[in-house]
Amino acid sequence: MNPSADTKLLVIIPAYNEEESLARVVAGVQAAVPRADVVVINDGSRDRTPLIAEHSGATVVSLPYNLGIGAAMQTGFMLARARDYQVVVQVDGDGQHDPREIPVLVERLLAGQADVVVGSRYLENRGYITPWLRMLGIRILAGYLSVVSGQRFSDTTSGFRASNRHALESCAQNYPADYPEPESLLAFRKMGLRVVEVAVSMNKRYGGKSSITPFRSAYYMIKVILAVTILLLRRAPRRAESPYVN
């Protein structure tokens, strides 16, 4: 990380009811990238998430009620834009992402030829086990997105990402409010931003409950496919401008 020691780096951790895992995630991030600032976006949690975030030493942005992970992330991007950060890394609050791999993402980003770097579970087989039905959903999404975006993606639902100034500015301006990950990949491509995947390992979540249920998964698939299709029908935006309407 030495060549980039002067890059202003912000790690955004969106958290909704993550009291069991958040302290470990923040500590992990602080240990892995000591020079980074850490902001926790408390997305209207009803548990002790905001308290734990304060105690961890991170900056805490508390949203007055639950807005959804996309809107929470957008809040982080807005803060990053206002405070002139050059690089933003998103790490989920549930402990799925290994903070020790943040430098891998950031180094790849700073190496150039990429505006967004996505940590992928499936680029290499590193023993991450996915239930078969979810795997099917993930394959369908990845296939569809690869076809419409003209770039091969292996892990479209990964929220473990690093973005440079171009990408974070566009995300601050506009970002899908819920289930943003697959949709934003196509948005980046349409804006001419370069997206690169790197292989990472992902853990089981440290604690708390996953938000995934069969009904939600079905809704997720339908919502994302609709959103991607509609995004496809929108006029291609210029680089600075976002394809969504804010």
Interacting residue ranges for another protein, rule: CB under 8 A: 41, 59-65, 67, 71, 74-75, 78-79, 82, 177, 246
CB of 74 to another protein, least distance (A): 7
Distance between CA 196 and CA 119 in Å, rounded?
Answer: 9
Cβ-based nearer residue to another protein, 67 or 114: 67
DSSP 68: -
Which DSSP state fits 15?
Answer: E
CB of 60 to another protein, least distance (A): 7
Burial 171-206 (b: 16+ CB within 10 A, else e): bbbbbbebbbbbbbbbbbbbbebbbbbbbbebeebb
- Judge contact between 188 and 116, C-beta under 8 A: yes
Is 67 or 200 the residue whose CB approaches another protein more closely? 67
Q: Which is nearer to another protein, 1 or 78 (CB)?
A: 78
| 13/61 with CB nearer another protein | 61
Contacts of 53 (CB under 8 A, 6+ apart): 15, 22, 26, 40, 42, 60
